[in-house]
Amino acid sequence: MRVHVAFTPDEAAEAPTGVVIDVIRATSTICQALASGYERVYCAAEVEEARALAGGLEGAVLGGERRAVKIPGFDLGNSPSEYVEPQGRAVVMSTTNGTRAIVTAAGRCERVLVASLLNLAAAVAAAAAHGEDVAVFCAGVQGAFTLDDAYVAGRVAELLDGASSDAAEAAIRLSRSFASAEEAFHLSHSGRNLHAAGLDADIAWCARESVLEVVPRFVGMHGTAAEISL
C-alpha cells in the first residue's frame, strides 16, 4: 500500500482511499457528533448554504463558527464538546476549509473517510482494510499548510505503515518532532487562534488519540453540501 499526503487541498494527490483531516476542529466535531448519536452531518462551505439546507431538513441543528465564535442564529458553535448530547437527528455545519478538503478528496478518490485524532485507530484500520493506496488530505487554512493537520496526517501515515511518498515521510518526521499532539496543536496557527478565543479546552479535547470508534464516511453531495455518516 502506498501512502501519500496532500498538506493542502490543492496539492496533487489521488488514490482509491482518501482520508480527510481538519482536526481543529471540523473533523473532530464530525467524529464526536456521529459518535454521540447524530445520524448524519452535512458540511457546507458558506453560512447561507448551511442555513438554507438546515431549513429544509427536519430535526437538523445548525453548527459552526467564524473566527472561533458561534455564528449568529446558529444552534451550536464548533466545539466538539457541544456535540456530546444530540439535540436533533442531523447537524448542518458551516466549515469552509473542511468542506473544501472533503469535496476535493471526493473528486479524486473512490471512497473518503473522515479522520481526527479522536478516531485515529479506527480510521486507520478502516483505510487499511480496503487494501488499496491511501491519500491523506489536510484541510489547511485558506489554502495554506497548518501544523495541526500535518501532525495528524503524520500519525495516520505512521500507523498505516505503507510505502511513504515524500510528503508522507515528511509528515511522519514532523509528527515525531513533537512530544505530544497538544504541543503541535498549541504551536499551530489554528491552536493559537483557539487559545486567543479562550478555547484551550478544545485543544485538549481534540488532542486525545483513539478514544472514539467511529469512521465517518462521505456519502455524497446534498446540493453544495457534503453529506457524512457512519
Q: Using CB under 8 A as the criterion, which residues of the chain lie in contact with its own copies when the complex forms? A: 4-8, 10-13, 142-147, 150, 165-167, 169-170, 173-174, 176-177, 187-189
Interior/surface letters 114-153, b for 16+ CB within 10 angstroms, e for the rest: bbbbbbbebbbebbbeeeebbbbbbbbbeeeebbbbbbbb
- Taking the complex as a whole, the smallest distance from the CB of residue 99 to its own copies amounts, in Å, to 17
Which residue number, 129 or 176, has a Cβ lying nearer to its own copies?
176
Q: In the complex, what is the shortest distance from the CB of residue 162 to its own copies, in angstroms, rounded to a whole number?
A: 15
Which residue's CB is nearer to its own copies, number 150 or number 225? Answer: 150
Question: 65 or 149, CB closer to its own copies?
Answer: 149
**Angle, CA of 120, 126 and 129, to the nearest 5°:** 135
Give the shortest CB-70-to-its own copies separation in angstroms.
25
Which of 17, 146 has the CB closer to its own copies? 146
Residue 176: CB partners within 8 Å, gap ≥ 6? 154, 158
Measured between alpha carbons, how far is 79 from 202 in angstroms, rounded to an integer? Answer: 6
Closest approach of its own copies to the CB of residue 20, in Å: 17
SS3 189: helix
Which of 202, 77, 98 shows the shortest CA–CA distance to 141?
Answer: 98
* Alpha-carbon gap, residue 14 to 1, rounded angstroms: 13
To its own copies, the closest distance from the beta carbon of 194 in angstroms equals 14
Specify the residue, 43 or 167, whose C-beta has the smaller distance to its own copies: 167
